[in-house]
Amino acid sequence: MANLVRAVINWTGGIGLPGFTNLHFRNQTPGVISQAVVDDAVTKLDAFLTGIRGSIPSTVTLAVNATLTEIDETDGTIQAFWTGTPAAAGAGTGGSIYAAPSGGVVNWTTSAVRNGRLIRGRSFLVPMDNAAYDTGGTIATTDLTALNTAATNLRAASGDARLVVWGRPTTAGGTDGVSAEVTSSNVPDKVAILSSRRD
């Protein structure tokens, strides 16, 4: 069992927004959350946002929430709140023309198995500006490279905070929640459609 820290990326300013992306981190050796874990998580998230902003419309603003929540991985109950020091909110540096529900997606993979399946997660990068796509309707090579690099750096096995996928309890009020460290990531060369802003 380990406690996790949940960080939230806020998406504002575009059609269908506001929205948010939840990401979870734990100590490099699963155990107690500390200020060092929180600070490292925020630093990695700030760098991640810097890495993806070139594909995000200029009308959309991204920011890491300064309040991070510590939860018990087994049942998701809140254990504490922590304060980080994220960079100031910043707008995307892509163009201003975009399709509101479409963008990219990061697939997070772990080596842990739960109920006979690998524990995996996804983070949607929606919306992306029109210039982030090529003439074939998939993600442009330059943007695809930048997105994959940002994802790789976020899951890097360095520092105090390690990115994990949290598997929620399988039943309401259950205590069988688990987490697994992300060991690989991939942004596929295809467009993802997001039907809900809850990520």
At which residue do the structure tokens 């998701």 appear? 76
C-alpha 180/C-alpha 5 separation (Å) is 13
Tokens of 37: 């874990």
Element counts in the chain: helices (H) and strands (E): 2, 11
Query: What 8-state DSSP symbol labels residue 89?
Result: P
| pLDDT digits 0-9 by tens, 111-136 | 999 988 999 999 999 999 999 999 99
Average pLDDT along the chain: 94
- Structure-model confidence comparison of residues 121 and 157, the more confident one: 121
Dihedral angle sign, alpha carbons of residues 128, 129, 130, 136 = negative
CA dihedral of residues 90, 94, 99, 105 (deg, nearest 10): -70
Given a cut of 90, whether residue 40 has pLDDT beyond it is: yes
Domain boundaries, the chain: 3-193
Q: What share of the chain is helix, strand, coil (3-state, %, to 5)?
A: 20, 40, 40
| pLDDT digits 0-9 by tens, 42-53 | 999 999 999 999
- Evaluate whether 104 touches 192 at the Cβ level (below 8 Å): yes
Given a cut of 60, whether residue 197 has pLDDT beyond it is: no
- Evaluate whether 3 touches 70 at the Cβ level (below 8 Å): yes
Percent of the chain topping pLDDT 90: 89
Q: How many CB atoms lie within 10 A of CB 194?
A: 18
Whether the upstream peptide bond of residue 101 has omega within 30° of 0, thus cis, is: no
